Chains A and B, each alone.
Chain A
């Protein structure tokens, strides 16, 4: 590696930048949005066809365990016997509400799903924020003083945490802190009968959230700190860090002002990319802690199986992750101008 970049490899900007919305930026944004849209279309089509190639009579699958009179059955049959193109068109125009009601709840799927969204958002959101903050802090500390005692303890602990099934860890802390010690509630999101509009109600929710959020956050801060550590190590060997040191800057300033901002980028991308896995974790965690959110709903839906509900949940989870990834891409472009050109 040479010290100075070879002049021929420095990209020549064809369009001088006139503002934030100059053409490379615009091209980057439009490209990302189109690609996210393409992924969404793929997921919708995948979802549509997957459940139609399912073996067995779709009518019996859709109506298992539900009393329907002949008129309803006839309507459903004619709906499912319509030409595939027509069904697809109907599905595309309204993938959530169109078609068949949830079998278990006997309601349009959207009405089953929407009241349960806030609980999952609260759980996944809080856990992600805590996991990111703790993971980044641990990663910086252990990566900057690599091989030190802190690094050794923290790296081996995170490796063990990273190897745990999250729901198992949840069950273990549930058995210790709720059943044996009785410090925290055994499940749910609030004590029945609490008014959620008051500060006392919020405290009650927070108290219920301690164990599930800790479980989810612990598993993911382990992963984030491993990535942050690797990324800090990578930046530490870069020449600009050497330059900063050569200028005589204090170690903490080199770390805080020079290395960390650059090392944060890959970690942030991972946090967003991982959202799909965090949602997966929320499915089992909500089940273990009996939180009535989308995760518990998924477990209920797969036990029927309640196909229309499962289909809608899958679509919703995928769409959420696609949007989160798009946001990550755009933020990355904002923070790191190199990717925009």
Chain B
């Protein structure tokens, strides 16, 4: 019988794992999983294409004032003739008053992207909160939230958004609010289902047994576990928000003082670009919408594939 081997106290000279704070461990683990995620995302060709397209549009939106002076949006300072086809001076032609369509589209990217992102944040916050709460609380409260989600899921989106936009009036903030508060039920449904599976795991039972409050359970245990799903869903939801902004602005419910891709399309349609055959005026903003929405969809699918590799 040999003597039991006693490990040396500080053999490797590494910090004693027991001495690291739980917060540091969590942080290290999160950093590692983010790095793993990025490594997988980089290998996904369509996801990376989406990211690249998006980067181009984001740069154009941020540096819009560098490329085109604000005065290029001014109707009274239009430099071209109405409905000029694309040329060297106007690469995407001119609109019905002679402004450069390229300048309009670049400036429009700002509003379309801001509205799309901001509305998605609102929708995600509402959807995640209601989803987690309706999955966590078992009594009448959870049931009521679930019912509310069901109701909003059934109400047709565009008529509801039109009615709300009419009630609130036309401004940038209002269109963000309208899209945000009408598009959350899908997220809530998804998050609720995920919450229910998390709730049945033993560590939640343990946390309940130790007397954790509802808030603690929901924010420290359920939320971190539904977060990946929320992120994947966010990417897909941005594309829906951008499409919604375009549609509402096309119907004349956007902020009349700003230029977005939807409002350019509205202006083109009502000024008779179709009968003029001004394909560049209609085409340019639409192609931008399609590219950005497609980019978000491709990224969302790539993220979904990484998080849930069942289908990949």
Contacts and interface: CB of A to CB of B under 8 A. Distances in A.
A126 to B, nearest CB: 19
A25 B26 CA distance: 50
A74 B229 CA distance: 56
Q: B interface, by DSSP: helix, strand, loop or mixed?
A: helix
B24 interface: no
B155 A284 contact: no
Contact of B277 (A55, A167, A180, A299): A180
B156 to A, nearest CB: 3
A325 B154 contact: yes
A277 B157 CA distance: 7
A302 B252 contact: yes
Interface stretch (B8-16, B27-35, B291-299): B291-299
Contact of A280 (B159, B252, B286): B159
Given A50-B163, A163-B239, A163-B293, A175 B282 contact: yes
A159 B159 contact: no
A298 B159 contact: yes
A317 B239 CA distance: 24
Contacts of A221: none
Nearest to B164: A50
A171 B52 CA distance: 28
Given A172-B282, A279-B158, A318-B155, A305 B150 contact: no
Interface string B129-162: 0000000000000000001001100111111101
B107 interface: no
A284 B157 CA distance: 13
Contact of B156 (A51, A307, A321): A321
A314 interface: yes
B60 to A, nearest CB: 19
A314 B155 CA distance: 9
Interface in B264-310: 265, 269, 274-275, 277, 279, 282-283, 286, 289-290, 293-294, 297-298
B74 to A, nearest CB: 26
A103 interface: no
Contact of A43 (B151, B166, B247, B279): B151
Contacts of B247: 165, 167, 280, 284
Contacts of A322: 154
B159 A179 contact: no
Contacts of A277: 156-158
B311 interface: yes
Contacts of B155: 43, 46, 276, 318, 321
Contacts of A46: 155
A305 B166 contact: yes
Interface in A155-180: 159-160, 162-165, 167-168, 171-172, 174-175, 179-180
Nearest to A281: B158
Chain A, interface residues (CB within 8 Å), range: 35 or more
B311 A233 contact: yes
B251 to A, nearest CB: 6
Interface in B49-106: none
Contacts of A35: 150
A283 interface: yes
A302 B277 CA distance: 28
A310 B251 contact: no
B243 interface: yes
A330 interface: no
A268 interface: no
Nearest to B243: A165
A287 interface: yes
Contact of A171 (B253, B274, B290, B298): B274
B25 to A, nearest CB: 34
Interface of A: 35, 38-39, 42-43, 46-47, 50-51, 53-55, 159-160, 162-165, 167-168, 171-172, 174-175, 179-180, 186, 230, 233, 275-277, 279-281, 283-284, 287-288, 298-299, 302-303, 305, 307, 310-311, 313-314, 317-318, 321-322, 325
8 contacts: A175-B279, A186-B275, A279-B158, A280-B156, A280-B157, A280-B159, A287-B251, A307-B166
